[in-house]
Structures are given as C-alpha cells and as structure tokens.
C-alpha cells in the first residue's frame, strides 16, 4: 500500500486561503494515484478547516519536540512524506530521516518565504507603492539560509511559481532535478449562465487578513486608491472580504465613503460572480495569488500590480487583469474597467484560455506524478546527485535534532 504522510503547518482552509486550496489539489492528485493519505499537524484546528474525513483522509494531531511522533511514524511507515512549508521540515525532517530513511521527502513551499519577507521588509517605513525587486543583500537573509537548506535536504520541492523557480536556480544555484513546477491545478471552465456586465455591480477585494500582503493592500485601498476612484465614481462601492478580519480592519468600514469591510464570506464564488471588478493593490508578496484564479474562474476581470501578476501569465493576449505600479494609473485603470464594457468583455473572454493553458489540472498532475515516479524508481541515485543535500542532512539536521531533544528533555522535567 502506498502511503502519504502530510505534515501540515496548519489544517487546510480552502475557503480562507489559496494555500488551503492548493493543498487540497495536491491531496486530490496523489489520492487519484492510489496514495492513502494521513494529514498530521501540530496546529490547532479552526472553524474554517475542511473536514478531511469527508475526503477519505485520516487526520492526526502531532506534537513538536516530542518522542510521540517517533512512535507515530514508525507505525505508519509512509512511502512519501510531504512537509507543508520549510518550518515543518525543520521540526520533523530529522525524525523522518531517522525512522523512515527510505521515505521520499517532499517539500511544498507555497511561496518563497525569503522573497516575501525581503519585500515586506523593504516596504516598512517606505512610501513607495510596489516592491518587486530585491538585492542579494536583502534576499540572502537568515530565513533564506533556513529555507534553502530545507529545499536541499528534501528529495523534491514543489514550486508554485516559475518566477520563483528561476530565483532558486539562478540566485541560489539549487539543482534543477530536485525542483518541480506544480502550480494550481484547475479544471477547465464550464459553460455557465453568469451575470452580464450590466448585471454585475461593485468593486470587490478578497484575501485572508492574517496574510500581511492582503492586510497591507486593504490599507492601501483605504488610504490611497479608493479616494482617487471615488472622485471619479462618487457612487461606487468597494466590498472587502476575507477570513479573520481584525478590529483594526473592521474599523475601516465607512458606508458614506462606499467602503464596506464585510469579512468572511460563505459563498465566495457567488460573490465574485456578481461583482464587476476585483481590486488587489499588492505592494509586496510572493507565490501565486489564488484570488486571480478564483476571479478568472468566475470570469471576473481584475486590477493589480506587477507583484499580483507575478508567475500568472506567459502571453499578454491571455491576460485577465490590468496592472500598474503607479497609484494614479492603478486607480484610473480601475475606473476605466468599471465603465468600459468592451474592455471588460475582452478580459472576461480570456479567462477560459488562461485557466486551460496555464493551470491545466491533467497536464500538471501528470507531469508531477511522472517526476515523482522517476525519483521513487531510483531514490539512491537521485540522492547521490544531490551531495549538498546529503551534507546538510548529516550536519544541520543533527543540530536540529539535538535542540529538539534538549527541549523534549526539558519539557519532561517540567
């Protein structure tokens, strides 16, 4: 029996974040290829977490710095172990190495954390609109050292963005044979009777408030962009949705200004299908932004920045968004798209080809499984070709192990 153990940073919330949706796509892909899945996490569950039992996936609560995980994984004996973000590889990688040395170790980065954090650091205290470039000094941080080490220690790392794959290949010299391009894997759009341009209304923005780029974008909308739009469209409304809105976000709600902070939405697809324009002034960030895939799936055009577009498009004619890194131009594009039905229909008409050509479920799942099978068939040879990874497992995982065991012993004394 082929067994997959997923060690999750959090429990999947597909209706709260793109990371949750992406995780379920990976689980579905592997389940369709006859893997029996156990999803384990040290995190507490939440009200928005998916019921994995409904997907025929086993759930397990695990602890960090605890020998209980050793007994758990020895009994399970997984064929594959998928670490959800590099922090989980740091915590549990040495235990997997020790007790299941022949298990293939996969890492799903979700986004390149060191890139996102470098851009976020740039944004602190700066009045610039967008931060899409980082120097080597900014990129090669302590976070980068930890993240790249985790990538090198694993047999295969799943990258959601071709842009970030190039960073790993060119700037960090990561061997290409331990990287796999696995973006969102989506079904083709089906024929739906969706509301027309004239039937749709309101600008909309959506994103988990716990994700700093999303919260920063809401602030940018409130302080910079929405006042510019309202000058030209005084009756326009902007509705902002997202999981876990803090009080500082709900306090921005102002109906007189047409600025509505609505928080969690039960039916995100229905909401997007009835909206006219999605706004996402992302100033920093990394990975692929799932909100644009959700919007395209609802044939909803968007306005964003170069950060928002990163990794989404290959051919300009298939774009479903307008973008600018200038505040005035961004605001004007939003106004134009809200009023120009011809332009709106042009972008809307690209949605089907965009989803099919860039995020084809069958194409990307087959490519991933083929690459995974070749590693399984010659795991020893694959690892031999990654000497740096073997060296890091020998040295850095030992230090992680000893620190964890010290904490474990300390906890027992307490």
DSSP string, 152-211: HHSSEEEES-HHHHHHHHHTS---GGGEEE----BPPPPP-----TTT---EEEE--TTS
- Residue 15: count other Cβ atoms within 10 Å of its Cβ: 18
3-state secondary structure of 69: helix
Q: Quickly state the pLDDT bin for 368 (edges 50, 70, 90).
A: very high
User: Given this model, what pLDDT does residue 316 score?
Assistant: 62
User: Given this model, what pLDDT does residue 79 score?
Assistant: 97
Q: Which residue has the higher pLDDT, 277 or 392?
A: 277
pLDDT, tens digit (0-9, with 9 covering 90-100), for 153-193? 999 999 999 999 999 999 999 999 999 999 999 999 888 88
Architecture of domain 2-185+361-413: 3-Layer(aba) Sandwich (3.40)
3-state secondary structure of 394: helix
Q: Quickly state the pLDDT bin for 17 (edges 50, 70, 90).
A: confident
d(CA 201, CA 236): 9
Are 289 and 223 a contacting pair, CB within 8 Å?
A: no
Which among 220, 278, 211 has a CA at the least distance from the CA of 245? 211
346-370 as b/e: b if 16+ CB within 10 A: ebbebbbbbbbebbbbeebbeebee
Q: Quickly state the pLDDT bin for 397 (edges 50, 70, 90).
A: low
CA triple 74-76-80, angle to 5 deg: 100
Mean pLDDT of all residues belonging to the chain = 94
pLDDT surpassing 80 at residue 404: no
Phi/psi at 228 (5° precision)? -70, -40
pLDDT surpassing 90 at residue 93: yes
- pTM (global) more than 0.75: yes
CA triple 38-3-92, angle to 5 deg: 60
Are 249 and 214 a contacting pair, CB within 8 Å?
A: no
Percent of the chain scoring above 90 in pLDDT: 87
d(CA 265, CA 217): 18
For residue 262, give Cα distances in angstroms to 25, 241, 251, 259.
28, 5, 11, 10
The residue with tokens 């990307």 is: 364
pLDDT surpassing 80 at residue 399: no
Residues carrying CATH 3.40.50.2000, the chain: 2-185+361-413, 203-358
Tell me which of 206-215, 269-278, 401-410 is least confident. Answer: 401-410
The residue with tokens 């025929």 is: 56
The CATH code that applies to domain 203-358 is 3.40.50.2000
The residue with tokens 């605001």 is: 331
pLDDT surpassing 80 at residue 403: no
d(CA 219, CA 240): 11
Side-by-side strand order, sheet with 80-84: 58-61, 35-41, 2-7, 80-84, 104-108, 156-159, 179-181
pLDDT surpassing 70 at residue 315: no
User: Given this model, what pLDDT does residue 395 score?
Assistant: 67
């Amino acid at each position: 029996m082929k067994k997959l153990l997923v060690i999750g940073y959090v429990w999947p919330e597909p209706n709260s974040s793109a990371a949750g949706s992406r995780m379920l796509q990976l689980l579905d892909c592997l389940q369709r290829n006859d893997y029996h899945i156990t999803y384990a996490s040290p995190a507490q569950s939440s009200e928005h977490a998916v019921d994995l039992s409904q997907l025929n996936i086993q759930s397990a609560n695990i602890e960090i710095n605890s020998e209980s995980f050793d007994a758990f994984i020895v009994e399970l004996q997984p064929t594959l172990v998928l670490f959800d973000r590099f922090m989980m590889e740091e915590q549990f990688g040495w235990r997997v190495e020790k007790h299941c040395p022949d298990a293939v170790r996969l890492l799903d980065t979700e986004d390149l954390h060191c890139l996102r954090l470098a851009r976020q650091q740039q944004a602190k205290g700066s009045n610039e609109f967008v931060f899409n470039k980082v120097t080597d000094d900014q990129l090669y941080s302590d976070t980068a050292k930890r993240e790249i080490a985790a990538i090198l220690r694993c047999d295969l790392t799943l990258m959601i963005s071709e842009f970030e794959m190039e960073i790993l290949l060119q700037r960090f010299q990561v061997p290409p044979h331990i990287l796999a391009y696995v973006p969102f894997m989506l079904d083709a759009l089906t024929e739906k009777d969706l509301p027309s341009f004239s039937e749709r209304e309101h600008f909309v923005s959506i994103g988990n408030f716990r994700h700093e780029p999303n919260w920063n974008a809401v602030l940018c909308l409130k302080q910079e962009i929405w006042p510019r739009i309202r000058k030209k469209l005084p009756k326009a409304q902007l509705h902002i949705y997202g999981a876990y809105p803090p009080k500082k976000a709900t306090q921005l709600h102002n109906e007189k200004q047409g600025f509505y902070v609505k928080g969690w939405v039960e039916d995100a697809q229905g909401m997007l299908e009835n909206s006219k324009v999605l706004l996402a002034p992302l100033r920093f960030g990394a990975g692929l932004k799932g909100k644009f895939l959700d919007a395209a799936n609802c044939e909803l055009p968007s306005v964003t920045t170069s950060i928002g577009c990163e990794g989404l498009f290959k051919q300009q004619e298939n774009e479903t968004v307008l973008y600018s890194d200038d505040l005035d131009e961004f605001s004007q594009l939003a106004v134009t798209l809200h009023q120009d039905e011809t332009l709106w229909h042009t972008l809307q008409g690209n949605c089907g080809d965009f989803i099919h050509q860039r995020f084809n479920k069958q194409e990307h799942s087959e490519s991933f499984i083929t690459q995974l099978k070749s590693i399984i068939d010659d795991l020893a040879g694959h690892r031999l070709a990654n000497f740096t990874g073997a060296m890091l497992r020998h040295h850095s995982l030992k230090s992680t192990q000893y620190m964890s065991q010290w904490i474990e012993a300390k906890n027992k004394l307490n």
